[in-house]
């Protein structure tokens, strides 16, 4: 019952605990039937059961069961994990919209709570990346069903933003070291950037729906330009994952180089689009969608650039505003 309404990992953890107890009790019944378990407990706390010592016997019996069962299961932890995953599978292409790592009881240990927030940031990055992948693939392949899935992922990023931000606010009320406190505003900024990536993915999906609904035609050159821009964005996502996971400043700096290339692509592709329009090779409505599409992809790059800066600056707040802060209303 405790696992009802929780995320996928929590349900799998509950299943592992259930299997641990059920299997343990099953084989322990044999030792209880033979009287071995009772004699073992009695050897630890000898004497007849009385009202005063019965609770001690129960406590020792419970502890003995857990210790023995843990020792028995140690070689089979991997099997228990696989069995739990098999019994509690992920449903199709669905996404768990809830936090995966945030634990309330860790708030009293700030260093551990911060570690969980960092892990949650990486998970949120994965969700936002998947949203953009679905959005771009739906556009390139005219896949309306894939575009619809973006809404679920965008909802997940909204929920993660809310949950992580609240967790950070709660953590800020604890007794943190100065260097730990400095990380909190940066982490909130990262969460907001990743939520905005989810928003941009939804914008891209809406453009897909417009493309399909209006049966818009795009030139081969336009599609190729989108693919080139998307290739760099994908590279930024991969680099962002590595940089966040490993605190890798060199990879983060490589993201800045990718962002420069993305900006160059944006300017270059807009100029080429205008030329195609002047040459009569491109439909006007298709052109509007094309420009909005590459603009949203470029903004995804901007958001990921902010992530890169957070890694480069060791999760320390920088007073200067980034260019993206002027675009929050877009």
Are 233 and 145 members of one domain? yes
11-33 residue pLDDT tens: 777 888 888 888 878 877 877 77
Asked whether residue 98 is domain-assigned, the answer is no
Are 137 and 22 members of one domain? no
Are 174 and 28 members of one domain? no
Tokens of 117: 């927030």
Asked whether residue 166 is domain-assigned, the answer is yes
d(CA 311, CA 33): 60
In CATH, what number is assigned to the domain containing residue 220? 1.20.58.220
d(CA 184, CA 190): 10
Better-predicted residue by pLDDT, 272 or 9:
272
d(CA 311, CA 117): 14
Shortest CA distance to 204 belongs to which of 250, 263, 148? 148
Annotate 245-284 with DSSP letters as a single string: HHT-HHHHHHHHHHHHHHHHHHHHHHHHHHHHHHTT-S-H
Tokens of 320: 């200067």
Look at residues 62, 87, 112 and tell me which one is the last residue of a structural domain. 87
Q: What is the percentage of the chain residues whose pLDDT exceeds 90?
A: 58
Asked whether residue 79 is domain-assigned, the answer is yes
> Does 36 have pLDDT greater than 80?
no
Mean pLDDT of the 186-190 span: 96
pTM of the model: 0.74
Asked whether residue 1 is domain-assigned, the answer is no
Asked whether residue 261 is domain-assigned, the answer is yes
Look at residues 87, 120, 153 and tell me which one is the last residue of a structural domain. 87
89-103 residue pLDDT tens: 766 555 666 888 898
The tally of domains found in the chain comes to: 2
Domain that holds residue 291: 104-327
Residue 17, classified by CB atoms within 10 Å of its CB into exposed (0-12), middle (13-18) or buried (19+), is middle
Are 109 and 80 members of one domain? no
d(CA 140, CA 134): 10
Look at residues 57, 87, 117 and tell me which one is the last residue of a structural domain. 87
Contact criterion met (CB below 8 Å) for 96 and 23: no
Asked whether residue 97 is domain-assigned, the answer is no
Are 189 and 296 members of one domain? yes
């Amino acid at each position: 019952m405790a696992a009802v309404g929780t995320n996928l990992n929590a349900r799998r953890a509950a299943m592992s605990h259930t299997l641990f107890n059920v299997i343990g009790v099953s084989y322990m019944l044999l030792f209880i039937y033979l009287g071995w378990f009772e004699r073992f407990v009695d050897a630890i706390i000898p004497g007849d059961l009385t009202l005063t010592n019965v609770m001690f016997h129960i406590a020792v019996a419970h502890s003995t069961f857990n210790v023995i069962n843990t020792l028995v299961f140690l070689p089979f932890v991997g099997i228990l994990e696989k069995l739990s995953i098999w019994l509690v599978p992920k449903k199709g292409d669905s996404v768990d919209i809830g936090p995966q790592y945030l634990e309330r009881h860790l708030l009293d240990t700030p260093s551990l709570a911060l570690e969980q927030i960092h892990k949650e940031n990486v998970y949120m990055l994965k969700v936002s990346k998947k949203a953009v992948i679905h959005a771009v693939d739906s556009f390139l392949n005219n896949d309306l069903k894939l575009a619809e899935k973006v809404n679920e992922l965008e909802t997940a990023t909204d929920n993660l933003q809310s949950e992580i931000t609240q967790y950070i606010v709660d953590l800020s009320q604890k007794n943190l070291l100065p260097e730990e406190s400095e990380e909190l505003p940066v982490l909130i900024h990262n969460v907001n950037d990743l939520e905005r990536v989810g928003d941009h993915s939804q914008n891209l999906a809406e453009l897909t729906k417009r493309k399909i609904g209006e049966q818009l035609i795009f030139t081969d050159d336009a599609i190729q330009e989108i693919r080139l821009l998307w290739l760099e964005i994908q590279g930024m996502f991969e680099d962002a994952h590595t940089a966040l996971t490993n605190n890798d400043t060199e990879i983060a700096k490589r993201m800045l180089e990718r962002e420069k290339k993305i900006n160059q692509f944006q300017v270059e592709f807009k100029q080429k689009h205008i030329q195609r329009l002047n040459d009569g090779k491109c439909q006007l409505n298709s052109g509007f969608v094309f420009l909005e599409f590459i603009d949203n992809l470029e903004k995804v790059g901007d958001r990921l650039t902010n992530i890169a800066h957070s890694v480069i600056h060791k999760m320390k707040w920088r007073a200067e505003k980034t260019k993206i802060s002027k675009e929050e209303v877009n």
